[in-house]
Chains A and B, each alone.
Chain A
Amino acid sequence: MKPKNKIQPLYFVFPAFLIYFLTVIIPIIWSVGYSFFSWNGISDMKFVGLDNYIRMFFDHTFQGAVANNLKFVLMGSIYQLLVGLLLAILLSHITRGCNLLRVIYFVPCIISSMAICQIFSKMLSVQPQGLVCFILEKMGLEQIALLANSNTALYTITLIDGYKYCGLYMIIFYSAFVSISKDVLEASIIDGCNLIQQYRYIKLPLIKNIFSIVIVMLINGCLKTFDVFYILDNKSKSTEMVATYMYKTAFNSADFGYGSTLAVFLVIECLVAVGLINKLLGSAKGDEAGE
């Protein structure tokens, strides 16, 4: 439809534009600006040029955080991708109770990270003995404080994070499987295709696009992970992520300048990662462009 005059549509757009501009766009620019200053929030801001960036590259905690974060991206992505895919495959083969199961699988996704972390920190605690340690003891294994031990904490948190989010990927894969045309599958069965061949040659290639989307989501999500790691923080460096380090630098140590530098790094890291994955999966994306 045509607007009566040029002003009228602006009434519709302007309020949202204003809020969005003020809360999303301005702070990003502001963050980039802060990253060139040294500032503790109280005293005067001091322009330090690229010093913060130079400091970042020689900061051992930061290097550790990046390494941890990459480890987490790798483990978390593979774990969530495989579990989500497996659940979706299982679910797409059953008929009875499918909807109910889908609803149940998804429950951890809608519960707050705080609640999930509280539940698991109790289940995993050694003193007082939590459920997991109880089981370990009964099985005759040594009890370890999975969250407090710096050797196991990262893996444990990866599992907890995966527990929360794998339902989401299950739903995405499941809707992709369901949308595959029945004709194609029936034709393949008539041609004598068994179940494994069906996945290998028909179903998985057909949902290639969804794969690339999920991979982008997973890597992007894992790179900027925050909640679970922040809440379950065990005060050791083994679970430090870039986002948690940035948060602590800014809000616990009141080093806003350096914190902003880390925030800028996080944004660039995410954008570069997404760009890279899209490039690597370029062929898959190419098919999608035709739609």
Chain B
Amino acid sequence: MKHTKKHFILKSIFYILIVIVVVIQIYPIFWVVCSSLKTPEEMTYTAQYSIPSSFYLGNYISALTISNIPRYFLNSVVVAVCTLTGIVILGCPVAFVISKVKVKYAGTLLGFFLFGMMIPVFACLIPMFQIYNMIGLRNTYWALIIPQVGFGLPMCIYLYTGFFKFLPDSLLEAAIMDGAGMGTVFLRIVVPMAKNTTMTVLTYNFVFVWNEFTYANTFISSSDMKTLPIGLNDFVGQFGRVDWGSTFAAIVISILPTLIVYFILNKNIIEGMAAGAVKS
């Protein structure tokens, strides 16, 4: 009896601590959502922490109409879709060859790709800038897609090879017995079976691509081609005066897709993040 009581107190302490941390973690986001729903008067005259008195959407309307936010949103979507497709289409076959096809150079190839995980993007930024400048890729989607595909491949290949290790060889052999070629085996058996891993690769990369800052800040200067993270700076007007209402609305608009994807697929994202982090 005594033991359970002690246990109960301990548990309560844990719960209290956890709730405190959760509040700290989540409060800034809650605060930004609240602030984005405040009228300009409320913003100026009521306390920062107060909850909006009404459901005011004016900030969202101004963020969506005055600024280029819809365009940035579109740019972000295009870049994300192309990058994610590119990473999976290019990376999955390589992982398949490395782990399932008998080739001599499999180990070297894996090492070659995994090497990329150790390289900070800054090491490549200046030459990339020069090259894209020279061949006129600056201010195009390509300048954002190509480097992100290149730097996304190592992680993608690492995750896929991890999964293929557990894919029984006998399954592939059986298909070959029935006369299937390498391409057929890959497309009809390997790809469908790797569905979960594909999901992990996609969600993991989505978070990064959607939030990507460095490339967009370096290669994009035209306001038509900006992505959302860069576009959030738009509301800093002349003399550094910031239109905070619109900024908050824009922030909410920009984090909403990640939050939605995250709450639906959080298992995949967390798994991918943990695996990716541990490797790099």
Q: Which of B44, B123, B211, B277 contacts A172 (CB 8 A)?
A: B277
Q: Which residue of B lies closest to A135 (CB)?
A: B49
In the complex the two chains form, is B232's CB within 8 Å of A28's CB?
A: no
Residue picked from B25, B29, B213, B263, most chain A C-beta under 10 Å: B25
The total of interchain contacts (Cβ-Cβ below 8 angstroms) comes to 246
In the complex the two chains form, is B11's CB within 8 Å of A93's CB?
A: yes
Question: Min CB distance, B38 to chain A, in Å?
Answer: 12
How many angstroms from the CA of A13 to the CA of B96 in the assembled complex? 9
How many angstroms from the CA of A220 to the CA of B153 in the assembled complex? 20
B141-176 interface with A by 8 A CB criterion: 146-147, 149-151, 153-154, 157, 169, 172-173, 176
In the complex the two chains form, is B116's CB within 8 Å of A107's CB?
A: no
How many angstroms from the CA of A158 to the CA of B140 in the assembled complex? 34
Residue A53 CB within 8 A of the other chain: no
B80-98 interface with A by 8 A CB criterion: 86, 90-91, 93-94, 96-97
How many angstroms from the CA of A19 to the CA of B154 in the assembled complex? 12
Given known A1-B169, A23-B150, A118-B232, contact A263–B176 (CB-CB < 8 A): no
- Sorting the interface of chain B by its residue count into under 10, 10 to 19, 20 to 34 or 35 or more gives 35 or more
Question: Which segment, of A66-74, A108-116, A180-188, faces chain B?
Answer: A108-116
Given known A31-B126, A104-B22, A105-B25, contact A16–B100 (CB-CB < 8 A): no
In the complex the two chains form, is B122's CB within 8 Å of A226's CB?
A: yes
Residue B230 CB within 8 A of the other chain: yes
Bitwise interface map of B from 41 to 73 toward A, beta carbon under 8 Å scored 1, else 0? 000100111000000000000000000000000
Residue B124 CB within 8 A of the other chain: yes
Contacts of B274 in A (CB 8 A): 168, 171-172, 175
Q: Which 7 A-B pairs have the closest CB atoms?
A: A23-B150, A112-B211, A27-B124, A30-B127, A12-B93, A16-B90, A27-B127
Bitwise interface map of A from 247 to 289 toward B, beta carbon under 8 Å scored 1, else 0? 1001100001001100110110011001000000000000000
Given known A22-B150, A107-B259, A114-B232, contact A131–B270 (CB-CB < 8 A): no
Can you pick out 7 interface pairs between chain A and chain B where the beta carbons lie within 8 Å of each other?
A23-B147, A103-B263, A104-B25, A115-B32, A128-B44, A210-B278, A247-B125
In the complex the two chains form, is A1's CB within 8 Å of B182's CB?
A: yes
Q: How many residues of A contact B (CB 8 A)?
A: 85
In the complex the two chains form, is A4's CB within 8 Å of B173's CB?
A: no
* Residues of A in contact with B (beta carbons under 8 Å apart): 1-4, 8-9, 12-13, 15-17, 19-20, 22-24, 26-28, 30-31, 34, 41, 87, 90-91, 93-94, 101-116, 118-120, 122-123, 128-131, 134, 163, 167-168, 171-172, 175, 195, 210, 213, 217, 220, 224, 226-227, 230-231, 243, 246-247, 250-251, 256, 259-260, 263-264, 266-267, 270-271, 274
In the complex the two chains form, is A115's CB within 8 Å of B266's CB?
A: no
